[in-house]
Structure 1
């Protein structure tokens, strides 16, 4: 009785809040009211590297699991002494099967930095306005984190017992290279704790048209690997009053232009071939025809030329490298003795640091321009398999929630914590479910947001998906 009263009171408060912010009141189910409150709590817990705390967020999420009935033995908090604010939590909902391996729900708690002066609204205040939730993390990726926690809470309270054990790992350090990375730590030091047949993670999602109709859903099956290089030139220098053409900055600039103009060879794998074939089949324009053509023949230069006009497709078809930082010289009245740049490479799955470096050096064609690999040195990463036991349920449940929208395998040109799980034998898939319109979500940028409709529909989709995957285990 008390819970029903509280849910009704919360629902009334949500409606009043929505009206106050200019959005129409929405009739929410009691379970949606509880989810909204948890989502709000997580977004308003600052987890940026500079002043936030993932450890605090993990404790708050763990408290919800404890209140739902998870025993202490099934909840593990972790951190390291030199990074006390970058901790995380692992929770386990035990299944009945003795033979089916567990599944893992993965999520990172940390968010990209956000300055209040740059945003229209306070980035760490959860705001519902005109059909959107605003706040840092509303899209990347606290909406999924909150969904995972809320899901396990409801499973425990309803006494649902899956066939396949379900594990949850909420970690820190995905957004910032210099941070302690919890997924890497678990994969390296606590492999048994997160052991799973496969993992569900961020990286997938749908696309809607300007009217909000979902056109497709994507499942991320693989991603590129990040590798940084230091490009550097050196020179004896001298007085600026007697300049010469042999100048470290000029030499570096010429090397950078060579990197700019170099296209790595086109590559396809099972995932990208399926993406171009399936996504292209739904289009009748020149781009769609080129997508289908390249999936059949990667040597089709005419199709490649069309696809290269789209920066996303261009990147999906090859390794890419780009200059991101620049430095040089030591005094305003002296010829530079040293100049350097950071080269950020996104290596196509299966590519190595050594091969990428060799191709760049050949393109630059100047032994005086040094390329120095920076730590961490990334190994080869292969996509997760297009396993019908995982992809099939995603398609089946999507047909219920997003009828007519195909589920398309994709390879991310960015990176996620799947980078650490795949090498230790846990295939990782970026889930479909949530979606955004043509304007995007503002993830990593200003005024990050998620569609209210997408949030509630995506949450229901993922709940059904996880139950399907767990019960078919």
Structure 2
């Protein structure tokens, strides 16, 4: 690949960062992805790639394009990225979050790593192919989605329900939150490839009691019962469960750092990872975190009902056991309502695509070692995996050793290193041409 795509990816990423696609999760305040989707369509059309735009609701736009490969009999590769971003308060940032500013070797802006950087890589690679006459070895399906940041109902989940035919023949997929580097030493960098992600179960807990005047002695108070249950949940630590993906990751970490792995104390190995320990540590167990409380309508009235929202993330194969454990924690008198459920995803770290990922990384970084890991959050892979597609997180970035990468996700002053972005487009080009 010549320098054109490596230069263009910076321009494209800057353009995307300047398009506000804030997704608040509320239709009244969500901006929508339509403008960004139209930008993607225009950049594809400029080089002769046809695409289709699908709105699941006004301005909630998704875009899909298929690039024919040399061998149409092979399973197609889905390459996907979302266009929406979480909100950003400009008063908290060093630069305006939608400025796309380039400073200190970084592009700054909401979505710089989550995930307009990979959207830009996708566009830069296929535009370069069209200009130079490259045909990929198999069909490549590009998908730019809406609503990933708020449950995917207007994005990948909607596409899978309403337009599954768009993904006919897709057997594998790559998307976000994988392929980034973690520096062990000058000669070794681990590149974490996501092969699994925890399931999502947003629950609402309801407590009921006897209503009454706030001045009375009252021993059947819904607020009290709920608060006690929520406190128990918030302080509880569910048991450690080492899944196959986490076990493979821990083995690689132990080897890289030259430490002996104690299966009974996996936290010791993870503690060596410094800033990304929080990202990895959450994959050792199921989690349940209280996020919202709601009760009452007047200061001097004891309400008959109080509610709380709990964000639960479950390991592969652990959903039923987790609910039994949670019930024991909250007690028998609290009602559980399921708001949103999305299953865990897990695949093996093997096969030709994985080999191609590792080879593409080593070609650009001789010190690269690809390792599998589990994401504690969720991505569009949850939707695409229901079609039988084998999903990986692989949006390659070589990062500075001192960058606290995990803190940038949904954080203040989100930014992506320009050199890392250019590294990523070179790796992605190699991968898509050899897989």
Does TM, normalized by the shorter one, top 0.5? yes
Give the CA deviation at 1:52: 3.0
2: CA distance, partners of 1:124 / 1:52:
13
The alignment yields a C-alpha RMSD, in angstroms, of: 2.3
Asked if 1:64 corresponds to 2:29, the answer is no
Query: Which residue of 2 is the match for residue 445 of structure 1?
Result: 411
DSSP-derived class of the 1:155 partner = helix
The alpha-carbon distance between structure 1 residues 84 and 330, as it changes in their structure 2 partners (threshold 3 A), is closer
**Which aligned pairs between 1:40-55 and structure 2 lie closer than 5 A?**
40-49=14-23, 50=29, 52-55=31-34
1: CA distance, partners of 2:308 / 2:353:
42
**Which aligned pairs between 1:269-418 and structure 2 lie closer than 5 A?**
269-284=243-258, 288-289=259-260, 292-294=261-263, 300=264, 303-304=265-266, 306=268, 311-352=278-319, 354-364=320-330, 366-374=331-339, 376-378=340-342, 380-418=343-381
Give the CA deviation at 1:335: 2.6
Gaps of 5+ in 1: 1-27, 295-299
**Which aligned pairs between 1:93-242 and structure 2 lie closer than 5 A?**
93-177=67-151, 180-195=153-168, 196-209=170-183, 215-242=189-216
**What do the CA deviations read for 1:341-398 (whole angstroms, capped 9, x no partner)?**
101100111233x54322211122x322222222x333x4341232321211111121
Contact residue 83 and residue 146 of structure 2 kept, 8 A = yes
The alpha-carbon distance between structure 1 residues 253 and 359, as it changes in their structure 2 partners (threshold 3 A), is same
Give the CA deviation at 1:30: 3.9
2: CA distance, partners of 1:318 / 1:123:
34
2: CA distance, partners of 1:114 / 1:219:
28
Asked if 1:250 corresponds to 2:250, the answer is no
DSSP-derived class of the 1:61 partner = helix
Give the CA deviation at 1:137: 1.2
DSSP-derived class of the 1:68 partner = coil
DSSP-derived class of the 1:421 partner = helix
Given the alignment, which residue of 54, 61, 64 partners 1:78?
54
Contact residue 127 and residue 134 of structure 1 kept, 8 A = yes
* The structure with more radius of gyration: 1
1: CA distance, partners of 2:200 / 2:359:
33
The alpha-carbon distance between structure 1 residues 93 and 312, as it changes in their structure 2 partners (threshold 3 A), is closer
2: CA distance, partners of 1:150 / 1:371:
47
Gaps of 5+ in 2: 24-28, 272-276
Given the alignment, which residue of 378, 382, 395 partners 1:419?
382
Query: Which residue of 2 is the match for residue 6 of structure 1?
Result: none
2: CA distance, partners of 1:41 / 1:305:
41
Contact residue 237 and residue 336 of structure 1 kept, 8 A = yes
Query: Which residue of 2 is the match for residue 4 of structure 1?
Result: none
Q: TM-score, normalised by structure 1?
A: 0.83
Query: Which residue of 2 is the match for residue 23 of structure 1?
Result: none
1: CA distance, partners of 2:153 / 2:282:
28
The alpha-carbon distance between structure 1 residues 51 and 240, as it changes in their structure 2 partners (threshold 3 A), is closer
The alpha-carbon distance between structure 1 residues 393 and 304, as it changes in their structure 2 partners (threshold 3 A), is closer
Bigger RCO (CA 8 Å, 6+ sep): 2
2: CA distance, partners of 1:239 / 1:346:
38
2: CA distance, partners of 1:210 / 1:359:
37
2: CA distance, partners of 1:274 / 1:305:
14
DSSP-derived class of the 1:252 partner = helix
